[in-house]
Amino acid sequence: MATWGNFSLLDSGSPLMEQLNFFHDHTMLILLLITILVSYIMMSLFFNKFTNRFLLSGQNIEIIWTILPAMILLFIAFPSLRLLYLLDEINKPSITLKAIGHQWYWSYEYSDFKKINFDSYMIPTNDLNLDGFRLLDVDNRTILPLSTPIRVIVTAMDVLHSWALPALGVKIDATPGRLNQTNIYMTRSGLYFGQCSEICGVNHSFMPIVIETIPTKYFIKWIYSK
């Protein structure tokens, strides 16, 4: 979960988010090198006294500043395309979770089991426990098993919403009349917090998402207890 002291990305809770962190660091390193190079060239132009009044064209330098940016873009594009396809890949999911956006709460359905569905509302500040998280805790957490490929189908009942969990690298639109899907695979047990990332109305900031990840055997007990 992000706190006021965080200046970087969240710790990854899934392999996909780990790859996103690597790609972020890779891109930032390239941008840093470009910034240093351009800054050095600009400073050298201010302080040197080299002039050439008769320079009309320079084929060599034009070739260099055309090919060099193209090569830099390739170093960014290839990892980006690879990661883009990894994010969309869904390979034999074990569980399907359906998330439905409403104004202003989420509904969840476990369609693989007996009919399990519930609504998830934000807990008001006055009703929070001392160890609760303001504007982030919900009355019904979404329980999911650890180290299990899970398909998430997202839609909405009224207006556009967005189901987003930063620690898992997930952000998917909830569109009325349309089913969007993504996959999650959690490698660490615990709580994962998210929020609706689409401005959907006056209470847009009050429809959080909470995923609680537990070992598979406890998840099965939870399913049978419903």
pLDDT per residue as tens digits for the range 153-207 = 999 998 999 999 988 989 999 999 999 999 899 988 889 999 999 898 898 889 9
Does residue 9 lie within any of the structural domains?
no
| Percent of residues in the chain assigned helix, strand, coil, to nearest 5 | 35, 25, 35
Lowest mean pLDDT among 18-27, 85-94, 118-127: 85-94
Question: pLDDT at residue 8 above 80?
Answer: no
User: The pTM is what?
Assistant: 0.80
User: 53, 88, 123 — which closes off a domain?
Assistant: 88
pLDDT of residue 208: 93
User: 65, 88, 111 — which closes off a domain?
Assistant: 88
118-136: burial string, b at 16+ Cβ within 10 Å, e else: eebbbbeeeeeeeeebeeb
Angle, CA 121 vertex, CA 15 and CA 177 arms, to 5°: 70
For residue 211, the domain's CATH number is 2.60.40.420
The pLDDT of 10-17, averaged and rounded, is 84
Query: With contact defined as beta carbons under 8 Å apart, do 155 and 178 qualify?
Result: yes
Residues 54 and 143 both lie in one domain: no
Question: pLDDT at residue 220 above 80?
Answer: yes
Does residue 189 lie within any of the structural domains?
yes
Paired sense of beta strands 142-145 and 208-214, if any: parallel
Which residues does 21 contact at the CB level (< 8 Å), separation at least 6?
9, 12
Question: pLDDT at residue 111 above 80?
Answer: yes
For residue 32, the domain's CATH number is 1.10.287.90
Residues 84 and 99 both lie in one domain: no
Percent of the chain whose pLDDT exceeds 70 = 98
Query: With contact defined as beta carbons under 8 Å apart, do 144 and 219 qualify?
Result: yes
pLDDT of residue 37: 92
Most confident of 7-11, 88-92, 135-139: 135-139
Quick: pLDDT tens for 43-102.
988 888 777 777 777 788 888 889 999 999 999 999 999 888 888 777 788 899 999 999
Domain count, the chain: 2
Q: For the chain, report the end-to-end CA distance as a whole number of angstroms.
A: 28
Lowest mean pLDDT among 20-24, 38-42, 107-111, 125-129: 125-129
Instruction: Report which of residues 150 and 55 the model is more confident about.
Output: 150
User: 88, 120, 147 — which closes off a domain?
Assistant: 88
Nearest to 144 by CA among 92, 190, 211, 96: 211
Neighbours of 192 (CB within 10 A): 24
Does residue 3 lie within any of the structural domains?
no
Does residue 2 lie within any of the structural domains?
no
Residues 140 and 206 both lie in one domain: yes
Q: Which two tokens stand for residue 142?
A: 């979404």
Expressed as residue numbers, the domain containing 28 is 15-88
Residues 58 and 112 both lie in one domain: no
| Pairwise CA distance, residues 63 & 30, whole Å | 21
